[in-house]
Structure 1
Amino acid sequence: MRYVDEDSATIWVETAAAGDVVVRAGDVTARARTFGVHGHHYALVEVTGLERGSRVAYEVEVDGVTVWPEAASPYPPPVIATLEADKPLRLAYGSCRTSVGHDKAGNDLHGVDALRSYALRMAGLTGGDMRWPDLVVFLGDQVYADETTEAMHEFISSRRDIDEAPWKELADYEEYAHLYYLAWSDPANRWLLSTLPSAMIFDDHDIRDDWNTSWDWRQKMEATSWWQGRIVGGLASYWVYQHLGNMSAAERAADPLWRRVAAHEAYAAAGEELDLSAELDTFADRANQVPTSYRWSYVRDFGDQARLVVVDTRAGRVLEPEHRAMLDPDELDWLSGQLRGDVQHLLIGSSLPFLLAPGLHYVEAFGEALAGGAWGERPARFGETVRQGVDLEHWAAFQSSFRAVVDMVIEVATGRRGDAPRTVTFLSGDVHHSFVSEARLRDPDAPPLQSRIIQAVCSPIRNPLARRMRFATAVLSYGVAGPIGHLVARSAKVPDAPLQWSLLRGPWFDNNLASLEVTDDGLALWWARGTVVAGDHEAPVLETVAEVDLDGDAVPTTRTRRHIAPRFRTRLARLRS
């Protein structure tokens, strides 16, 4: 279940062979012919004419045979739940999910899958009733192309020598297709995905760790024998499995690849399937070589309650040292056009946290300056090594883009881009721990904020840091990095950001899935994890990890919040234990 609005829904299907796919939802019937990509077969069925705010069960047929829901399924019938403008928006979000088994061995290795725990609770199989979200937003690393599982190793070994490049990493579209199969075929998660609308964006592991960190990184990848197959297979499969369902019907109608699918379906002979392989590979190669040729970012509006802007922070980077930027000029202009007021809550989905821990922010800004030659050529080489070695490649390491977006956000939050929202909230993942921060203006003489500016991170869904790394991460990111970051940044003449920010809650390191709901007062956010009870690994119980209520009227002043250090020492003590 992908894009859903007030009267239509898009259902994504992969089939074992070419065929006709029919969706029946109450009195409404919709159909589509599959299209092929490298021997795989897909259909995107657009169901229209639905009633606003309705919830109707549906079935999927392939060539006249009902294939979904499966017979004797323990899960409720999948439904299409259309949006209703007056109902408070609720969405779930998170990032970073590996695909291993859900038995004791799998849970011991990677913890309990928060998404699966959420699915079991939604289905009423564990715990009490819950109000379902209107959608789930996956903010990167839905699949890991570089850190593969034993099941993926077996598949790779069946088709090539795993001791030769790219070894246990993915090589092409066929291996990506199998990786998505492993990620999405668990029965509980498959049911959730068939019922809960979803929006997605990639991060680095969807392609490879540190994807597009720097010019040096990219040159090294392009010099290998296997990178071309990886990037083409990765972007081609991303368009099919993830991006295609992000678009509305109108947006798909403007997409050149989708127009090719639609034209074939309209004019081809009965039973003839379009093979999109060559065109899709050409598209993916061009999207990689010329990022301005395609936009992966997108926007969703939910009446006057919220606008969700999901930003590509990976594929569109400008890496030439003299023009280094997170977003190319076209993408930055597009983003500027989307960041505006006249809505209660402006939500910005970015796989990478926009506001890291302040000290770490300035360490990354220093790293960019160092690698850029602020201290000379030899330190620059050292800076590049450190940048790649410890992942100094978030927004803070692209200072020109960071400051441009800060300026946009301040304009929104001070009412210079329409009526100021109650909150401007960044939703992010990536860093394998969760936290909530709030920003305020640094300059006490600047026009005051009218919106709360929030960073709310949920990571991972299922890929926790090792316990020995959690304490180190907390100390380095929220303790040691503080004084060091400001000191070294000033030494490289990195200017202070126009915003200053501090923790409201966190950090915590559980596998979890976050939820956000629009309330009368502002926003309610909470994080939930799965817990195994009485050794029953097949039925983990969903429990709350953290809750944060944001009063939209409680906008902070420029004064720095005090007493953070004692609270942080308490959190460190808990982490030690």
Structure 2
Amino acid sequence: MASVPLVLGPMLRYTDETCAAIWVETAADAEVSVHAGDREWRSRTFAVHGHHYALVEIDDLAPGSVLPYEVRVNGGTVWPEADSSLPAPVIATRNPRERLRMAWGSCRTSVNHDAAGNRSHGVDAMRTFALALSEDAALRPDLIMLLGDQVYADVTTKPMQDFIRSRRDISEPPGKELKDYEEYAHLYRLAWSDDANRWLLSTVPSAMIFDDHDVRDDWNASLDWKKQMEATSWWRGRIVAGLASYWVYQHLGNLSPAERAEDEIWQRIAAHTGSDEPDLSDALDAFAGRVDREPRTYRFSYRRDFGDIRLVVVDSRAARDLTPTARALVDSTEWEWLDQQLQGDLRHLLVVTSLPFLLPIGLHHVESWDEAISQGAWGRVAARIGERLRQMLDLEHWAAWQNSFQSLARILTEIADGGRGTAPDSLVVLSGDVHFSYIAEVDRSRGGRIVQAVCSPVRNPLPIAMRWFSVVMSYGLARPVGAAVARSAKVPNPPFDWTTVKGPWFDNNLSVLRDTPGGLELTWHKGVVENGDERHPRIDEVSRVVIGPRSSSG
């Protein structure tokens, strides 16, 4: 490995009008430098469990600049690769006079991009977008927002299983699932080393948030679920490795320079003065263990402002309160922060939560009913059945946390009614997780529009046998039947009604959000293989919707 100094990356992460951050993983302790124009920025690597990383902070850039760059490790150029057919990577800073363009989606497995991989998992929509961008720079978004399940720690591919077998007995728990940091590092390498996707992430700023499969299916679905995991011999190592690697591979790059300066782990890196790299293994493991035990001690949620458009990214996994008498998808500390970010006096408010806030109405009622009986509305026997259903059918979205759902619904309604400043033209919740895409809208005749948009999966299609259930739950009798079932368990009615206005559709998709004079335009795109050319799919538009002001048609 030492003969290949750059293991993974570069990844262009947090970028604004005047600064950027570039993340890399290297093969050894090294000095990493980024060169653009006649300028140079340097950073020393830090170590975690035998792996080496650097985040190079780029500053004093001009707004709206587009700078080709190269990365050097110990003075030798490692990126762009000399034999690459893809365009030179660039650092593109935000131009405050230009309208926001953002790509987004969730749920992406890492399998080969050949006929077998495309047959089993469909065409990778992110890779398709990367190839289209490589041919047309006008498609470049300001940001790609990845809404969860960047990696699947519990449902592993054959290459990942081969790696696991090379280091331990796969017949012993946790079997084919990930066990420790070393296995997470390899999984991220599999996920982000494809040529086109690697290039995309080197030239488009990215922001991320986890969902359950980044750790394990149904992560923190309930206190019963957590007790089951903690009773195993391997869970403690898994959650520590999952959160520690998440901080390194995903969360660190989400942070602005000011946020990094306040981050307890980054402060250790910044304070290091020795000639060798700092080793954060013990500190990160202790941090991850504490965050799992005491989620109120750290916040993974964050906010980005693009002029008069606000993007609020919500941690709806690690920050849960699992106490049966105080169940909350977002605990009280996190909720206080979230409440402060959700304000009016914006043109558009975008709320990113990996789990859909507004499910198809029938499914919403089923999940709220299941939570009620799991909490004892129909007695102990029914509670045990409800818990089994919750875990077996993944009934753990916002609808299954009624206290949190009702609270967020009230806040969004207040904002849309002008109760927190001038009402935005639109409040759009962006989500993934469910492996189908759709648009739903709250039934309102005045004020700002409240819309749920879902883009899922990027590459992990829902089995055909399960698709009918999603369609049934979106239309027809699902609304009255589901509402009757929920009322039977004394679930409070939602504070508003909503309708699925487009979808569901089940293609692998990447969505693009564009701020236009007529409102927010959302498009969904998939890859189509032509003439057997599996590695160079054509990009195809699946659906389009414009979310205009209340006076406009949408």
Contact 2:426 2:548 in 1 (8 A): no
Q: 2:521 aligns with which of 509, 524, 542?
A: 524
For 1:316 and 1:20, locate their aligned partners in 2 and report how far apart those are by CA, in whole Å.
36
For 1:554 and 1:486, locate their aligned partners in 2 and report how far apart those are by CA, in whole Å.
31
Q: Show the counterpart of 1:503.
A: 500
For 1:364 and 1:196, locate their aligned partners in 2 and report how far apart those are by CA, in whole Å.
37
Q: Which shifted more, 483-492 or 518-527?
A: 483-492
Matched, 1:385 2:397: no
Contact 1:145 1:170 in 2 (8 A): yes
Q: 2:22 aligns with which of 1, 11, 36?
A: 11
Q: Show the counterpart of 1:119.
A: 130
SS at match of 1:474: helix
Matched, 1:268 2:271: no
Matched, 1:285 2:289: yes
Q: What does the per-residue CA deviation read over 1:191-240, in whole Å, with 9 as the maximum and x for residues that have no partner?
A: 00000000000000000000000110000000000000110000000000
For 1:375 and 1:74, locate their aligned partners in 2 and report how far apart those are by CA, in whole Å.
63
Q: Show the counterpart of 1:570.
A: none
Once the two structures are TM-superposed, the CA of residue 488 in structure 1 deviates from its matched residue by: 1.0
Once the two structures are TM-superposed, the CA of residue 553 in structure 1 deviates from its matched residue by: 2.9
For 1:160 and 1:479, locate their aligned partners in 2 and report how far apart those are by CA, in whole Å.
51
Q: What does the per-residue CA deviation read over 1:108-128, in whole Å, with 9 as the maximum and x for residues that have no partner?
A: 11000000000000001xxx5
Which residues of 2 match residues 431-470 of structure 1 at below 5 A? 431-441=434-444, 449-470=446-467
SS at match of 1:348: strand
For 2:169 and 2:104, locate their aligned partners in 1 and report how far apart those are by CA, in whole Å.
37
AA partner of residue 415 (structure 1): G
Matched, 1:53 2:46: no
Q: Show the counterpart of 2:207.
A: 199
Q: Show the counterpart of 1:20.
A: 31
Q: Show the counterpart of 1:249.
A: 257
Contact 1:449 1:555 in 2 (8 A): no
For 2:28 and 2:343, locate their aligned partners in 1 and report how far apart those are by CA, in whole Å.
45
Contact 2:474 2:500 in 1 (8 A): no
For 1:480 and 1:179, locate their aligned partners in 2 and report how far apart those are by CA, in whole Å.
43
Q: What does the per-residue CA deviation read over 1:416-460, in whole Å, with 9 as the maximum and x for residues that have no partner?
A: 11111110000000000000010035xxxxxx7411100000000
Q: What does the per-residue CA deviation read over 1:172-191, in whole Å, with 9 as the maximum and x for residues that have no partner?
A: 11000000000000000000
Structure 1 stretches of 5 or more lacking a match?
A: 442-447, 557-577
Q: 1:133 aligns with which of 132, 141, 144?
A: 141
Once the two structures are TM-superposed, the CA of residue 57 in structure 1 deviates from its matched residue by: 0.2
For 2:137 and 2:223, locate their aligned partners in 1 and report how far apart those are by CA, in whole Å.
50
AA partner of residue 404 (structure 2): S
SS at match of 2:440: strand
SS at match of 1:2: strand
Q: 1:363 aligns with which of 355, 363, 366?
A: 366
Q: Show the counterpart of 2:98.
A: 87
SS at match of 1:121: helix
What TM-score do you get using the length of structure 2 for normalisation? 0.96
Q: What does the per-residue CA deviation read over 1:245-304, in whole Å, with 9 as the maximum and x for residues that have no partner?
A: 00000000000100000111xx223xx110000000000000000000100000000012
For 1:314 and 1:301, locate their aligned partners in 2 and report how far apart those are by CA, in whole Å.
23
For 2:327 and 2:280, locate their aligned partners in 1 and report how far apart those are by CA, in whole Å.
34
Once the two structures are TM-superposed, the CA of residue 85 in structure 1 deviates from its matched residue by: 1.2
Q: Show the counterpart of 1:144.
A: 152
AA partner of residue 382 (structure 1): I
Q: Show the counterpart of 2:52.
A: 41
SS at match of 1:123: helix
Q: Show the counterpart of 2:489.
A: 492
Contact 1:452 1:552 in 2 (8 A): yes
For 2:169 and 2:478, locate their aligned partners in 1 and report how far apart those are by CA, in whole Å.
43
For 1:225 and 1:11, locate their aligned partners in 2 and report how far apart those are by CA, in whole Å.
37
Which residues of 2 match residues 139-218 of structure 1 at below 5 A? 139-218=147-226
Identity of counterpart residues, as a percentage?
59
Q: 1:236 aligns with which of 239, 244, 255?
A: 244
Structure 2 stretches of 5 or more lacking a match?
A: 1-11
Q: Show the counterpart of 1:298.
A: 302
For 2:476 and 2:296, locate their aligned partners in 1 and report how far apart those are by CA, in whole Å.
39
Q: Show the counterpart of 1:553.
A: 550
Query: RMSD between aligned alpha carbons?
Result: 1.3
For 1:394 and 1:449, locate their aligned partners in 2 and report how far apart those are by CA, in whole Å.
28
AA partner of residue 514 (structure 2): E
Contact 1:13 1:43 in 2 (8 A): yes
Contact 1:452 1:554 in 2 (8 A): no
SS at match of 1:10: strand
For 1:543 and 1:489, locate their aligned partners in 2 and report how far apart those are by CA, in whole Å.
40
Q: Show the counterpart of 2:4.
A: none
Q: What does the per-residue CA deviation read over 1:465-494, in whole Å, with 9 as the maximum and x for residues that have no partner?
A: 122222233224545543331011111111
